[in-house]
Amino acid sequence: MSLLQKLLGHRSDPGPSATTWYLRDQHIPFSLHHHVPAYTAQQLAQVEHVPGRMVAKVVIAIADGQTVMLCLPAPCKIDLLKLMSVLCTDNIRLAYEEELADAFPDCEVGAMPPFGHLYKMPVFVDQRLALDEKILFPAGRHTDTVEMAYDDFARLVHPMLGDFC
């Protein structure tokens, strides 16, 4: 069970309210946008009418048996050789869809917010995502997006920056 679920009192489907509740509890300014379903980070950028570099694509990987959260700009692709260097391992794979459902029971698969610390996993951010003042990301559902300052995100999450795109 994630820390977020514990804070919410074990609600089985809090949807975007879990993310927004957490941000409000932390006194973080943000805006919540509702839109047509967007199933990829690039689609999210299109429906939000923002450059893809502002949208945080969340990818989950298993490195040396540990689940890690990777956040990168929507148009970027993970370079596994660079990622292995950042994570100091040669034992890495991307998580399977079933593993995502288990790891993020309060989110639709593929719509998890980049708050790995709430799900007991370290967060690695590609340095390109940190270049914009604001970022956007799914809020637990394919129809809800959070927009917030990157600096506020970094203060909450304490991600490790790297170059893996």
Domain range list for the chain: 3-162
Instruction: Report angle CA 130, 134, 139 to the nearest 5 degrees.
Output: 100
How high is the pLDDT of residue 48?
96
How high is the pLDDT of residue 13?
46
Is 25 a residue whose pLDDT tops 70? yes
pTM reported for the whole predicted model: 0.87
Token couple for 10 = 């074990």
What is the tens place of the pLDDT at every residue in 46-77?
999 999 999 999 999 999 999 999 999 999 99
Q: Hey, what CATH class is 3-162 in?
A: alpha beta
C-alpha 110/C-alpha 40 separation (Å) is: 8
